[in-house]
Amino acid sequence: MSKVAIITGAGSGLGQATALRLAEEGVNIAVVDVNEEGGNETVEMVKKAGADALFVKADVSKPEEVKNYVDQTVEKFGTIDYFFNNAGISGSGQFYLDTDISEIEKIVGINLLGALYGVRYVAEVMVKNGGGAIVNTSSSAGVTGQDSVVTYSATKHGIVGLTKSMVAEYAKDGLRVNAIAPGPTETPMVKEFYEANPEMKENATGGIPQKRLGTPEEVAELVTFLLTSKAQYVNGEVIRIDGGFTNTK
Active site residues: 152
To which H or E segment does residue 53 belong? strand 53-57
- Other CB atoms within a 10 A radius of the CB of residue 47 amount to 13
Nearest to 83 by CA among 127, 133, 13: 133
- Other CB atoms within a 10 A radius of the CB of residue 29 amount to 32
Give me the sign of the Cα torsion angle 182, 144, 101, 93: negative
Nearest to 136 by CA among 175, 93, 92: 175
Question: Which CA distances in Å does 211 have to 95, 148, 192, 240?
Answer: 26, 21, 20, 16
Which burial class, exposed, middle or buried, applies to 55 when counting CB atoms under 10 A from its CB (0-12, 13-18, 19+)?
buried
